[in-house]
């Protein structure tokens, strides 16, 4: 039982044996990494996860400039999501420690997120809250992680713009949309398997860190799936609340 609990807390380290020539560019700015300052970047962003974080989190190498350039967008996305889950911008009520610190340290960030919050009364007398995110910033973070997931699992640098980036709370989906999303539509037992040597091939063959077709980074906090469905498609679920999808077509 202790071994099972440990495996649930810690992702398994999976080696990759794909062509190293696929790993010579920064997946975000497309520049060759040779001669650039680089960073090891976690995918998903560590700030999206709860402490203690799992061991052996997926890591990809990107240029330092891109890694730094995403910092403010990631801070906003993590903090906004935490505020939605808490129903408040009060730093002391945040479920995410990084968001709590950000709100306490930046009155401007707190004011910006607070201004996106609207309360309204239902006919039954209940009070509901609506939040309107900065979608450009949210989408940049989702796309950043999606590129990292494809790179880590398949060894594929997705240097082109995707066909679409979508974000929607799970609770806003219809039952059919939810079944389609969770079931990873068009993916079945006869779906094409990834390249031999890729991490995703190893996951599918061994079941490492998998729940169905989902890679579980941290239970209840972050899961994702990378599928060859009309191209490459990345879906993720943040805090069992926000569903995302990024699609690259052939």
Q: What is the pLDDT of residue 17?
A: 46
Looking at the DSSP bridge assignments, the partners of residue 169 are 242
Query: Which residue would you say has higher pLDDT here, 209 or 218?
Result: 218
**What pLDDT was estimated at residue 11?**
61
Give yes or no for a cis peptide into 195 (omega within 30° of 0). no
User: DSSP string of 96-137?
Assistant: SHHHHHHHHH-HHHHHHHHHTEEEEE-TTS-EEEEE---HHH
pLDDT digits (tens, 9 = 90+) for 168-201: 999 999 999 999 899 865 544 445 555 555 555 5
Look at residue 119 in the predicted model and tell me its pLDDT.
83
**Statement: residue 204 has pLDDT above 80:** no
What is the number of H-type helices and E-type strands within the chain?
8, 10
**Is residue 153 predicted with pLDDT exceeding 60?**
yes
Rg (CA), the chain: 19
Stronger pLDDT, 117 or 205, i.e. the higher one: 117
If one compares 13 and 145, the residue with the highest pLDDT of the two is 145
At 8-27, the pLDDT tens digits run: 456 655 445 445 555 688 99
Mean pLDDT of 75-83: 97
pLDDT of 205 above 90: no
The pLDDT of residue 3 is 41
What the block records as the tokens of 51 is 């402490």
Distances (CA, A) of 104 to 19, 74, 92, 99, 169: 45, 16, 9, 9, 26
Question: Which of residues 228 and 145 earns the better pLDDT score?
Answer: 145
- CA distances 210 to 38, 95, 123, Å, are 30, 25, 43
Ramachandran angles phi, psi of 16, nearest 5°: -125, 145
Predicted TM-score (pTM) of this structure: 0.82
User: Mean pLDDT across the stretch 142-165?
Assistant: 93
**pLDDT higher than 90, residue 120:** no
């Amino acid at each position: 039982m202790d071994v099972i609990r440990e495996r649930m807390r810690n992702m398994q380290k999976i080696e990759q044996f794909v062509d190293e020539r696929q790993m010579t560019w920064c997946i975000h700015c497309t520049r060759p990494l040779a001669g650039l300052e680089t960073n090891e970047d976690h995918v998903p962003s560590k700030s999206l996860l709860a402490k203690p974080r799992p061991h052996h989190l997926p890591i990809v190498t990107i240029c330092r400039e891109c890694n730094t350039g995403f910092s403010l967008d990631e801070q906003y996305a993590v903090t906004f999501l935490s505020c939605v889950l808490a129903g408040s911008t009060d730093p002391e009520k945040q479920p995410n420690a990084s968001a709590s610190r950000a709100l306490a340290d930046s009155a401007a960030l707190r004011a910006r997120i607070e201004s996106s919050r609207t309360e309204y009364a239902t006919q039954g007398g209940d009070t509901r809250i609506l939040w309107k995110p900065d979608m450009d910033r949210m989408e940049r973070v989702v796309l950043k992680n999606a590129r990292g997931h494809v790179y880590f699992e398949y060894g594929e640098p997705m240097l082109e713009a995707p066909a679409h980036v979508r974000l929607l709370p799970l609770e806003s989906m219809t039952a059919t949309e939810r079944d389609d999303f969770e079931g990873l539509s068009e993916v079945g037992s006869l779906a094409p398997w990834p390249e031999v040597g890729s991490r995703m091939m190893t996951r599918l063959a061994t079941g490492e860190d998998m729940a169905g077709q989902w890679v579980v980074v941290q239970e209840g906090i972050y899961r994702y799936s990378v599928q060859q469905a009309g191209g490459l498609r990345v879906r993720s679920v943040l805090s069992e609340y926000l569903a995302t999808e990024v699609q690259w077509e052939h």
